[in-house]
Amino acid sequence: MSTPSQPTPGPAFGAPSPYEKQPQQQAMPPLDPQAAVSLRGLVKMFGQHRAVSPFPLDVPSGSFYGLVGPNGAGKTTTLSMFTGLLRPDAGQASVHGVDVWADPMEAKRRLGVLADGVRLFDRLSGRQLVTYTGRLRGMPADEVDQRTNDLLRVMDLEDAGDKLVVDYSAGMTKKVALACAMIHAPRVLVLDEPFEAVDPVSAANIRDILNQYVANGGTVLVSSHVMDLVQRMCTHVAVIADGQLRASGTVDEVRGGLSLEERFVDLVGGRGTGEGLSWLRS
Ligand SMILES: Nc1ncnc2c1ncn2[C@@H]1O[C@H](COP(=O)(O)OP(=O)(O)OP(=O)(O)O)[C@@H](O)[C@H]1O
């Protein structure tokens, strides 16, 4: 990989805060082997468009870390680069000290990933898909069976376990994909929009599972658009916009006495006045 290029300076948004980042002024420290996830200067270009600019980010072990940003901010691209799904143009990433792109097999053992928009083997039933994922991870058959039963139960998919995934609703598909991400009991769970399309009862169950997982030493990195959820659920948050890190720290540090949503709008801008669609008014 080449040396990260310098980011183009972004516009200044909102009031200055000690937790706001100015990436163009930062020297890039080395990867932090103590962090559950450490990112240094990942860059992704799509043609002439720089989807992600270099920034450093450390996700502390045992944290529930939210990654938020407007549509097209670069969240999925960032998550894809450090989970090994998308090769970065520059930069480094590690999971508990293992370099993702130098030692992908070891890094992937430590990671459970719920990716956004990645096709599942949807001609399998939910039970078959979770079982197949566990077996691919090299787990013994009886352990896979036990965990598959547990996961289908807590995801409220027991009755749909023998139905083909292609016939699942969006929320059911999300839940079975989450079960696949968890089957090998990874140390870090990376979840891209895990609550999208999931009903409130299932979402609360999933939150309980994730809280327990974190209480037992796991680390969760989750992207979401729902600020209220991130404020209630996460210990830490990073705000990205235009592929740049705008703020990071504990949720209380970043929101600085405001609600996270108010702070987000402050940092990211883009609120319209609601005018301009005069033809829509009756
Ligand atoms: N495969 C691709 N080819 C070209 N451009 C892409 C591709 N994937 C992402 N992009 C662009 O990169 C930018 C970041 O996209 P990304 O999907 O990472 O954003 P996001 O923050 O996850 O957005 P959302 O919240 O809407 O899911 C966008 O401008 C998007 O159009």
Ligand 1 residue neighbourhood (C-beta within 6 Å): 46, 51, 69, 71-77
Could you tell me which CATH number the domain at 55-268 has? 3.40.50.300
| Residue 132 to residue 103: CA distance in whole angstroms | 24
Closest residue (by CA) to atom 2 of ligand 1?
A: 46
Q: Where are the domains of the chain?
A: 55-268
Closest residue (by CA) to atom 19 of ligand 1?
A: 72
249-282, pLDDT tens digit by residue? 999 999 999 999 999 999 988 777 667 787 877 6
Ligand 1: centre distance to CA 88 (Å): 14
DSSP state of 29: P
> Is this structure's pTM higher than 0.95?
no
Measured from the Cα of 78, ligand 1's closest atom is: 18
144-169, pLDDT tens digit by residue? 999 999 999 988 899 999 999 999 99
Ligand 1: centre distance to CA 69 (Å): 11
19-28, pLDDT tens digit by residue? 555 444 457 8
Helices (H), 158-235: 170-182, 200-215, 227-233
Closest residue (by CA) to atom 5 of ligand 1?
A: 46
